[in-house]
Amino acid sequence: MLLAQDGFEWPDWLVLAGYLVIVIIIGVLAGRRRGTGDDYFLAGRSMPMWAVAISVLATSQSAATFIGGPQQAYTGNLTYFAANLAVLIAVVLVAVIFIPAFYRHNVTSVYELLGHRFGPAAQRCASAMYLVGRVFAGGARLFIVALPFSLVAFGDVTAPEMMLSIVLIAIGSTVYTLTGGIRAVIWTDVIQAILYITTISLALWVLWQKLPLDSTAMVDAVRSAEGGDKLKVLDLTLSSAADFGRSFNFWAIVLGLSLLNLAAYGTDQDLTQRMLTCRSAVKGSWSVIVSCLIGWPVVLLFLLMGLGLYVFYDRPDLMGAAAPDYAIDDTRQVFLQFIIHEMPTGVRGLMMAGLFAAAMSSMDSGLNAMASTTIADFYRPLIARAAAMRCTSCGYDLTGNRSGTCPECGLALPPPIRRAVVRGGPEHERFVSRIAVVVWAVALSGFACFCIVWQSQRGDTLINFALSVMIFAYSGLLAVFLTALLTTRGSQASVLAALATGFVTVLLMQDGIWKLWTPYVGIDFTIAFPWTMLIATGLSFLVCVMGKR
């Protein structure tokens, strides 16, 4: 059953449109301050710690959390909440090891650190791998938020409607990302985080009013669910090969998911860029720790929503006459069904605004981070090489000169030389940055369209799908950063080999390819993505440390 398009009434559309207008206005106002390219990407390292912490939270908790969190508890249990242990382990390591190193080297892109350590080729390779990984991860998130948009706007989730939804959302996110750089991104993230936390709290309150008053019966119902105890938080079992197929087993969380989060918070420009906007390394470190701590209760809210929806939709024996008269045919829609059918008029629009807030806070940050990486790791070195030339009259070194004339003899530079020299100025850099935002928005949209087919074939929950696509790039990147920060080994060649090893290893462990080769080596069980992350990162690290400085 698909949701009816007429479930949304004009007050809902008015609320949703009002939210989008407000977000764009905030982005424009925040972007009025002009500055250098680094100000566009790092906000002059002047952002308050609390705002950065909320921005990191808003970026890490995307539409996958908003839609996938309730789905995770509805179809499974609370073991996803235990994944916060992995986040805590990761952010402490990032705060102690990674962030101080980034501030010491005064980087705009975190991959500049690898340039200092291994050389420019390593920096460019790592940056390119990040961009590939961000297209994967950002495209998957864009696909997820297109699901509710397509249902609300077009009443269907077939490929044409989904593709149009993806394009419309990408355009909206791109418009206000272009306005003000990272400063606009952070302040809009603060507003959007407050909105989506408010909306999930409101949805829980409405759901609670509809559930039976017998709380003991509800607890018994979720404990005796067909798939097992839905209140289980820690899954400590690892007694058979089948246990390696569970994504949020305690051991998978500690050994594999911790590495994934370490890569996300420490090697992904999307998140680390925010921490670099603080006034000092200490404040940057505290921003990621505070973000982790306030994220725990937020995740719990979404999971509790899923438990309540299980009782509401799957236990008519408890609901009685209050049971809904429609069924859930697609668990991806379980929370969306509730929003459109059960929430009051006007509040529905606010709920969808909260969903788009969660989605757009991830996409705008991703686009800005990809643009900053493109400028810092590719554009600036290119311009530096182009500008390394001498005056044709007196031979004066013009490297870095921005005036268009030779300061030694006053000769006006010929047009080709003037263009090469002036092209690296702050205004031109901002112009190129915005072109990069548009280019990467197109790339994200293309991959999101591919996810329409990919996710349906995999059959994963949305949370699993969103997390698993990240490890293609994360495994190799984390191995390279660990080599750079913790050892004296590694070379440009071993960095490239490590990045390739991580990507290929993850590719070989994808379900379709896994089933092709594992029977020949006697493996007859599936493996969840945290274990894939552990194996791929380990192999990549061994490859990277084989190189000598």
**Which string of DSSP letters, residue by residue, matches 330-349?**
-GGGHHHHHHHHHSPTTHHH
Longest Cα–Cα distance in the chain: 92
pLDDT at 186: 83
pLDDT exceeds 80 at position 514: yes
In this structure, of 55-69, 313-327, 406-420, the range with the lowest mean pLDDT score is 406-420
Choose between 46 and 418: higher pLDDT: 46
427's CB contacts (< 8 A; 6+ apart) are: none
Q: How confident is the model at residue 274 (pLDDT cuts 50, 70, 90)?
A: confident
333's CB contacts (< 8 A; 6+ apart) are: 3, 147, 151
Q: How far is residue 322's CA from residue 319's CA, in Å, rounded to a whole number?
A: 5
- Which of 136-145, 311-320, 496-505, 540-549 tops mean pLDDT? 496-505
Q: How far is residue 19's CA from residue 399's CA, in Å, rounded to a whole number?
A: 47
pLDDT exceeds 60 at position 435: yes
Give the residue carrying structure tokens 């936390």: 197
pLDDT exceeds 70 at position 385: no
pLDDT at 109: 80
Query: Residue ranges per domain, the chain?
Result: 5-387+425-544
> Are 469 and 136 in contact, with CB atoms under 8 Å apart?
yes
pLDDT exceeds 80 at position 24: no
Please state the CATH superfamily assignment of the domain spanning residues 5-387+425-544 in this structure. Sodium/glucose cotransporter (1.20.1730.10)
Q: How far is residue 33's CA from residue 30's CA, in Å, rounded to a whole number?
A: 7
Choose between 321 and 130: higher pLDDT: 130
Nearest to 322 by CA among 351, 342, 307, 347: 342
* Residue 405 β-bridge partners: 412
pLDDT at 430: 74
Q: How far is residue 435's CA from residue 371's CA, in Å, rounded to a whole number?
A: 8
pLDDT at 112: 87
Q: How far is residue 177's CA from residue 185's CA, in Å, rounded to a whole number?
A: 7
In this structure, of 12-21, 45-54, 401-410, 475-484, the range with the lowest mean pLDDT score is 401-410
Residue type, position 431, single letter = F
Choose between 143 and 215: higher pLDDT: 143
pLDDT at 156: 78
Q: How confident is the model at residue 421 (pLDDT cuts 50, 70, 90)?
A: very low
Q: How confident is the model at residue 3 (pLDDT cuts 50, 70, 90)?
A: very low
Nearest to 270 by CA among 111, 460, 45: 111
Instruction: Give the chain's count of helices (H) and strands (E).
Output: 25, 0
pLDDT at 420: 45
Q: How confident is the model at residue 434 (pLDDT cuts 50, 70, 90)?
A: confident
pLDDT exceeds 70 at position 413: no
In this structure, of 25-34, 180-189, 429-438, the range with the lowest mean pLDDT score is 25-34
pLDDT at 191: 83
Q: How far is residue 128's CA from residue 110's CA, in Å, rounded to a whole number?
A: 12
**Segments in 459-491 forming alpha helices (H):** 462-468, 471-486
In this structure, of 19-23, 59-63, 278-282, 422-426, the range with the lowest mean pLDDT score is 422-426
> Are 210 and 312 in contact, with CB atoms under 8 Å apart?
yes
pLDDT at 427: 66
Q: Torsion angle, CA of 28/364/426/100, rounded to 10 degrees?
A: 120
What does the mean pLDDT of the chain come to?
A: 83
pLDDT at 340: 85
Alpha carbon of 493 to those of 118, 228, 374, 474: distances in Å? 9, 49, 22, 19
Look up residue 382 and give its two tokens: 């290119």
pLDDT exceeds 90 at position 291: yes
Instruction: Output the pTM of the full model.
Output: 0.85
pLDDT exceeds 60 at position 33: no
* Long-range contacts of residues 336-339, Cβ cutoff 8 Å, at least 24 apart: 336/3, 336/67, 336/147, 336/148, 336/151, 337/3, 337/313, 338/203, 338/207, 338/309, 338/312, 339/203
Choose between 420 and 79: higher pLDDT: 79
Q: Torsion angle, CA of 495/496/499/505, rounded to 10 degrees?
A: -120
Expressed in angstroms, the distance from the first to the final Cα of the chain is 60
**Segments in 401-491 forming alpha helices (H):** 415-422, 426-458, 462-468, 471-486
Look up residue 84 and give its two tokens: 């916060």
Q: How far is residue 503's CA from residue 497's CA, in Å, rounded to a whole number?
A: 10
Choose between 232 and 242: higher pLDDT: 232
Q: How confident is the model at residue 4 (pLDDT cuts 50, 70, 90)?
A: very low
Q: What is the mean pLDDT of residues 160-173?
A: 87
